[in-house]
Amino acid sequence: MTGTEISSDGLDPRRRRLLFRSWHRGIREMDLVLGRFADAHIAELSDAELDEYETWLEIPDQQIFTWVNGSQPAPAEIDTAMFRRLRDFHYG
């Protein structure tokens, strides 16, 4: 897999930027975790969900990866319904 499987045509600038950032992380594992999730859901996320998603993109890759794969519990401020949706998308 080399990156996004969807076209950014029709996405607003914010969603395009988030899609790009999802596929251009520091480690390939997070490209796949966030990129695949973004491919599947970026077009349908609400503004509040996009705000939360942007917050995730500021978290270091290794840290968020441990929360997503369950090797460390996510802190309460991260362990939201939206985060569980991301986790379940990959490991549910």
- 51-79 pLDDT, tens digit per residue, is 999 999 999 999 999 999 999 999 999 99
The residue range of the domain holding 82 is: 13-91
Average pLDDT for 75-91? 94
The residue assigned the tokens 């569980």 is: 84
Domain count, the chain: 1
Average pLDDT for 6-12? 76
69 in a domain, yes or no? yes
46 in a domain, yes or no? yes
1 in a domain, yes or no? no
The residue type found at 38 is A
2 in a domain, yes or no? no
What backbone torsions phi and psi does residue 5 show, to the nearest 5 degrees?
-110, 5
Mean pLDDT of the chain: 91
How many alpha carbons fall within 13 Å on the CB side of residue 45? 26
**Among candidate residues 32, 42, 35, the one with its CA nearest the CA of residue 10:** 42
Q: Is the pTM of this model over 0.95?
A: no
User: Rounded to an integer, what distance in angstroms lies between the CA atom of residue 37 and that of residue 31?
Assistant: 10
6 in a domain, yes or no? no
28 in a domain, yes or no? yes
CATH of the domain at 36: 1.10.150.250
54 in a domain, yes or no? yes
34 in a domain, yes or no? yes
**Among candidate residues 72, 50, 52, 53, the one with its CA nearest the CA of residue 63:** 72
Tell me, what's the pLDDT at 10? 77
